[in-house]
Structures are given as C-alpha cells and as structure tokens.
Amino acid sequence: MKIEALLGDITTQQVGAVVNAANSSLLGGGGVDGAIHRAAGPELLEECLQLRRTELPDGLPVGEAVPTAGYRLPARWIIHTVGPNAHRGQTDPGLLAACFTSSLQVAADLRVPTVAFPAVSAGAYGWSADTVARIGVDAVRTFAARQEVRDGQQVCGPTVTDVGEATLTEVRFVLFDEEVLAAFAAALG
C-alpha cells in the first residue's frame, strides 16, 4: 500500500473517500469538519441528521467511523471519525489509533482504492502533531500488513479468505501546515 503525506486541502482530493475529523454530533464544526461540511453542501448535513435520528441517536463514539456520501466533494465517500480530545482527558493512544483503523476498515468495506486522512485530533483536540503522525502512520502500516493479499488470498492470522484483489491501495495524509507535514514526513521515515 502506498502511504504519503502532503500539504493541501482535503476537500479537493481526488480520492475514493476522505476522512472527516468530526465531532460526535456529526453536525459540522470547526477546522476540517467545518470545511468538509461547507464543501460537501447541505445534503451532507441532512444525511448526518438522518444518521442521528436512526442509527446514532447518542452521536458517534470516539474511535469509531461511519460513512456518508461525498455529495459535492470530488470524493465519493466521507468517512466520519471522532478523535479523542486531550483537553477533555481523552489521552489514550488506543482511541486515536482506533480512529485510523476503523476509518480504514470502512474504506476497505466500501472498496475504495484511495483514502485521504487529516491529522485527526491534532490542533484543537490537543494532541501533538508528532504523536498523531506516529500513531496514524503506525495504524495505517499495521492495517496494511493485516490486509496483505497474496494471489487473491487475504491472510488475517490463521484465517485465509479468497477475496480477490485488494482495493485499498493508497492512503494520503493531507495536512494543513508545514509543521504537521514535517511530523508526518518524519513518521513515514
């Protein structure tokens, strides 16, 4: 799997899915969440409201992920995940790793070839760029290793399943400033 980090606007990425660093309400907010909601258009808010009325009446839990359509974005899908907020005492690295892993699993389930991630929980949620980069890159690499496909066989522990070709072939970390980009570049080695 190709993994890269670049400086850019996640809302303009030509990918199968973009990951939204959402709040648990799924109703939009600041930063990446607000930018994705504005770029996707009012239809996104309507779908998120429907999710809240039906499947997620208490909101999306930290570390989990749920897809919606991409609407006016170039991406077909938006995968919403709620990162842990260090300012609220949510400092478990496992919760942050779960954001990346659950989003990747949703992307694989949707059979998209490429997915773009922001720096989930960096900035307003109080996690350092270096920590987010290390955890995010490690989570992607671990997921890629677990989803290893050999001649149409998916090997996950002792189980081998005939799945055809793997569809998730590229992960992009699309970042908002040079400092965060440098942290991800260092984590990628």
Say if CB 112 and CB 69 are below 8 A apart.
no
Pairing of strands 159-162, 170-175: unpaired
SS3 122: strand
Active site residue 33: yes
Instruction: Show the beta-strand stretches assigned E in the chain.
Output: 2-7, 17-22, 65-69, 77-82, 114-117, 149-150, 153-156, 159-162, 170-175
Question: How many Å apart are CA 18 and CA 103, to the nearest integer?
Answer: 9
* CA separation, residue 43 to residues 19, 71, 83 (Å): 17, 7, 23
The catalytically annotated residue of 9, 33, 109, 138 is 33
Residues designated as active site: 33
